[in-house]
Amino acid sequence: MKNIIILSIIAISILGCEKMPKACIAVEDTVEAGSEIELTHCSDNYEFITWLFGDSTYGYIGDSPKHIYRSEGKYLLEMEAFSKGAFRSEAASKLITASYRYLDYVEITGNSNFPKFIVRMSGLYFLCPDATGNFTEENPYFGQYFGNATLIPMSQNISLNGFTASEEEVLLLEKRFNLDFVKDNPIFIEENGYTLKIYWKYKTL
């Protein structure tokens, strides 16, 4: 009995000296739907971490899991930091939004004799009227997109074409991107004296 009491006192002393784990989520408020993202944290004094993603998938044990939110929506992301031996823990949660990227507007520079520009992406074209002029970095051509054009996270060609008065298209620049990995905003292409900048935004859900 005496030995049990001594062991209990030792265990209590060890727990008393052990620092409390600190749970801290370091994920942006909005993440991209349909694309693999890394869920990061800023926790401290922990041995291991568990995650619940808030969708229909299983949880995860580990520091920085990679996850795909398959649908747009709001998800309660939960994590718990455990001390050595899992004697103590602290939980944290964050409501995040998963959204696809949507085309917002384009900026084009270059000396154009074309009445119109056309920006083409896989399954999408964006007609830009009144395109004649010398467009510079300080005064670029500005084209606003009104609609819900999704920048699908996949490999696809993006091109800028001039549209002549006789309705013929002239390829001005073109580049293939894998938008599952390219997250730049804007997406930038420069070729043949022209530049194309494609700006995107997340949807407000």
How many Cα atoms sit within 13 Å of 101 on the Cβ side?
A: 21
Provide the pairing of β-strand 141-144 with 194-202.
unpaired
Cβ 109 vs Cβ 141: under 8 Å = yes
pLDDT in tens, 157-189: 999 999 999 989 999 999 999 998 999 999 999
SS3 175: strand
**pLDDT digits 0-9 by tens, 110-142:** 999 999 999 998 778 899 999 999 999 999 999
pTM listed for this prediction: 0.81
CA angle 103, 167, 118 (to 5 degrees): 15
187-200 pLDDT, tens digit each: 999 999 999 999 99
Tell me how far apart the alpha carbons of residues 71 and 205 are, in angstroms, rounded to a whole number: 12
**101 neighbors 32 (Cβ within 8 angstroms):** yes
Nearest to 51 by CA among 39, 37, 68: 39
What pLDDT score was predicted for residue 14? 46
Q: Is 51's pLDDT higher than 90?
A: yes
Q: Which two three-digit tokens encode residue 62? A: 């580990």
Q: Which amino acid is residue 8, in one-letter code?
A: S
- Which domains are present in the chain? 2-99 (2.60.40.10), 101-202 (2.60.40.1110)
- Do the strands 89-99 and 30-32 form a parallel or antiparallel pair, or are they unpaired? parallel
**Cα–Cα distance for residue pair 170/131, rounded to 1 Å:** 13
Q: What is the mean pLDDT of residues 26-41?
A: 94
- 64-99 pLDDT, tens digit per residue, is 899 999 999 999 999 999 988 778 999 999 999 999
113: amino acid identity, one letter: N
The reported pLDDT for the residue numbered 17 is 58
What distance in Å separates the CA atoms of residue 180 and residue 152, rounded to the nearest whole number? 8
pLDDT at 15: 47
Give the number of C-alpha atoms closer than 13 A to the C-alpha of residue 58, restricted to the C-beta side: 2
| Average pLDDT of the chain, as a whole number | 89
pLDDT for residue 169: 94
* Residue 122 half-sphere exposure toward CB, CA atoms < 13 A: 13
Tens-place pLDDT, residues 5-22: 443 434 444 445 567 889
